[in-house]
Amino acid sequence: MSGIELKSPDEIEKMSRASRVVAEVLDALRHQVRPGVTTAELDRFAEKFIVERGGIPAFKGYQVRDQVYRHTLCVSVNEAVVHGIPSGRALKEGDIVGLDVGVVVEGYYGDAAITVPVGAITEQARRLLQITEESLHKGIAQAVVGNRISDISHAVQVHAEAASFSVVTDFVGHGIGRKLHEEPQVPNYGEPGKGPRLKSGMTLAIEPMVNMGRPETAHLSDGWTAVTQDGSLSAHFEHTIVVTEAGPKILTRL
């Protein structure tokens, strides 16, 4: 359990407030996604929405080595897996778009992601979205006291691969709380029964990234956007949860 912080009821309450804003902004963004809207317009909408509700955009100013992220949302279209940068790109009918957002309230974080269709999409793309979201919930169902981290990981992988999709292994879920990324890492693959044992008060961001084709990813020259190497579609769903004696509780759900 080294480095893993168990949260007090007061801390979980603060995380719940941040997570509620995350859930509300993602729900609102669903209705903003349509052909012709730009990813930058979605980003501006999200920032205004969060600030009006007393939150702070968690990703804006986030730094990895010498790179600083300057936007509220990560907006990942089609073959983009995660960390897509908002831009003047207009969404088109048939696209799928991943929307990932974090919010800080009173120093505590919430983080979640959804992938939504832009107008009518192919049946195969719709199935990718369905299976990825189901994989998230299969993983969450394993987040019970006494299980291990890799029980979550294994459940995600088994469900995605049973549908003939592949799980991204280059990025993982994470602990969350007073920081956006805390211990432990939560992979979306692996054998069950390994890693730290789950205890009441652990707070996790579980986030399957599932590809229609192969699992390998590559980075674009912007230094942030990760894409599928083979150009296949990718979907991403995420919830912030807390492990309790009564089972997992999803904080980023309305």
d(Cα 109, Cα 18) in Å, to the nearest integer?
Answer: 6
The domain in which residue 155 lies consists of 9-248
The pLDDT tens digits of the residues spanning 198-253 come to 999 999 999 999 999 999 999 999 999 999 999 999 999 999 999 999 999 999 99
Please state, rounded to an integer, the average pLDDT across all residues of the chain.
97
Residue 2's pLDDT band (cuts 50, 70, 90): low
Give the per-residue pLDDT at 22: 98
Residue 65's pLDDT band (cuts 50, 70, 90): confident
The pLDDT tens digits of the residues spanning 115-157 come to 999 999 999 999 999 999 999 999 999 999 999 999 999 999 9
Averaged over 155-181, what is the pLDDT?
A: 98
Q: Has residue 231 been placed in a domain?
A: yes
Q: Has residue 2 been placed in a domain?
A: no
Q: Quick one: what percent of the chain has pLDDT higher than 70? A: 99
Q: Has residue 136 been placed in a domain?
A: yes
Q: Has residue 1 been placed in a domain?
A: no
User: What's 143's domain CATH number?
Assistant: 3.90.230.10
Q: Has residue 226 been placed in a domain?
A: yes
Q: Has residue 253 been placed in a domain?
A: no
Averaged over 70-80, what is the pLDDT?
A: 98
Q: Has residue 237 been placed in a domain?
A: yes
Count of structural domains within the chain: 1
Q: Has residue 103 been placed in a domain?
A: yes
